[in-house]
């Protein structure tokens, strides 16, 4: 369980004890926020410029996360995070902490956007931020020659983040990836508690396997991520209506909700040819169709049109 703990004299003293174990490692992060600078950051917090929280996981302070504005009138804050223990990285702890911090900081700092820079040669960090709703806006090179992506996440109520349309747009990215591989462009993502935990695209031709549909690829990834075959509480977004095989996989995985882009009149097993989710199986997912339907239809039409030209 991940919790964000407000910084006070008690938590800072506890955190400092933990920090001593990693003094050599922390020396690499001189530009980041540290407890020994508590007084300065307390002042920035009082001025409404800084949101800073310690990350508590399984009873241990493992890092910190913060958002900082450069002026009181600014509606944008820069995000920063570090997790001290290497074994804890890549386990979703950072994403959870980022989401909690942004949700709280949006209110306390009165911001409408979060931003950050991530090194172009760090794809794992880039994917982490992307799954938290950040999108790349530019790429630039620092004076030291390091290439960096600038990423932003809008926080205003008009943002597509955390809406069906937003998650379907991520599924469309997977569909476009499939098209680039020469596959029929179908993509899927699986979301749990506002976090994208899995994604997949058609890979039948690439991997020479008839079962490698986008939904199956995403379900397999999600099961590994959660350590369970049950995907209760998960939402699946797919650009094309599932076929009988994929509809069966969705039922067997206990996916709670399914969002569909375009219908498939020839092979769709949810609404078009069959209605498997309405049959008396041992699980019936909720379903909603027509999410970004035009975009999902267009990516398929463009793909098949290009095939006819060749």
Most confident range, picked from 48-57, 80-89, 188-197, 279-288: 279-288
Q: Over 60: is that where the pLDDT of 272 sits?
A: yes
Quote the domain boundaries for residue 134.
Answer: 2-154
**Both 182 and 276 in a single domain?**
yes
Q: Which of 130, 199, 215, 241 is catalytic?
A: 215
Question: Are residues 213 and 229 in contact, defined by beta-carbon separation less than 8 angstroms?
Answer: no
pLDDT class for 29, splitting at 50, 70, 90?
A: very low
Question: Are residues 296 and 241 in contact, defined by beta-carbon separation less than 8 angstroms?
Answer: no
The more confident residue out of 46 and 163 is: 163
Q: Is 57 annotated as a binding residue?
A: no
| Rounded Cα gap, residues 138 and 127, in angstroms | 16
**DSSP of 128-160, one letter per residue?**
HHHHTT-EEEEEEE-TTS-EEEEEEEE-STT--
Q: Is 296 annotated as a binding residue?
A: no
The answer to the question of residue 296 being in a domain is: yes
| Rounded Cα gap, residues 286 and 44, in angstroms | 47
Q: Assign residue 214 the CATH number of its domain.
A: 3.40.140.10
**Both 76 and 123 in a single domain?**
yes
Total domains in the chain come to 2
Q: Is 201 annotated as a binding residue?
A: no
Rounded mean pLDDT, 10-17 = 55
Q: Report pLDDT for 288.
A: 96
Rounded mean pLDDT, 108-124 = 90
pLDDT class for 206, splitting at 50, 70, 90?
A: very high
**Both 220 and 150 in a single domain?**
no
For the entire predicted model, the pTM comes to 0.54
Please indicate whether residue 215 is annotated as part of the active site: yes
**Both 186 and 298 in a single domain?**
yes
**Both 150 and 174 in a single domain?**
no
Rounded mean pLDDT, 36-55 = 73
**Could you give the strand order of the β-sheet that contains 195-201, starting from the edge strand earlier in sequence?**
195-201, 187-192, 234-240, 257-262, 286-289
Q: Over 90: is that where the pLDDT of 155 sits?
A: no
| Rounded Cα gap, residues 215 and 14, in angstroms | 45
Q: Assign residue 25 the CATH number of its domain.
A: 3.40.630.30
The answer to the question of residue 214 being in a domain is: yes
Which of 103-107, 133-137, 219-223 shows the lowest mean pLDDT across its residues? Answer: 103-107
């Amino acid at each position: 369980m991940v919790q964000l703990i407000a910084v006070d004299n008690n938590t800072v003293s506890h955190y400092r004890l933990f920090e001593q174990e990693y003094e050599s490692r922390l020396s690499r992060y001189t530009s980041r926020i540290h407890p020994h600078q508590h007084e300065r950051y307390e002042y920035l917090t009082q001025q409404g410029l800084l949101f800073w929280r310690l990350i508590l996981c399984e009873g241990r302070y493992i890092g910190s996360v913060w958002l900082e504005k450069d002026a009181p009138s600014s509606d944008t804050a820069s995000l920063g995070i570090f997790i001290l223990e290497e074994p804890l990285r890549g386990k979703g702890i950072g994403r959870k902490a980022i989401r909690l911090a942004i949700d709280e900081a949006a209110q306390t700092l009165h911001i409408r956007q979060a931003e950050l820079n991530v090194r172009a040669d760090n794809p794992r960090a880039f994917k982490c931020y992307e799954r938290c709703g950040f999108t790349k806006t530019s790429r630039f090179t620092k004076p030291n020659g390091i290439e960096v992506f600038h990423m932003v996440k809008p926080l205003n109520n008009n943002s597509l983040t955390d809406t069906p349309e937003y998650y379907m747009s991520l599924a469309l990215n997977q569909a476009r990836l499939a098209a680039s591989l020469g596959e029929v462009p179908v993509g899927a993502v699986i979301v749990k508690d506002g976090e994208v935990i899995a994604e997949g695209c058609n890979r039948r031709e690439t991997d020479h396997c008839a079962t490698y549909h986008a939904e199956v690829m995403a379900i397999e990834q999600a099961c590994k991520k959660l350590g369970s075959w049950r995907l209760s509480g998960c939402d699946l977004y797919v650009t094309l209506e599932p076929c009988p095989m994929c509809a069966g996989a969705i039922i067997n995985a206990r996916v709670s909700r399914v969002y569909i882009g375009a219908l498939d009149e020839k092979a769709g097993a949810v609404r078009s040819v069959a209605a498997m989710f309405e049959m008396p199986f041992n699980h019936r997912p909720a379903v909603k169709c027509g999410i970004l339907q035009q975009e999902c239809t267009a990516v398929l039409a463009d793909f098949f049109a290009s095939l006819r030209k060749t």
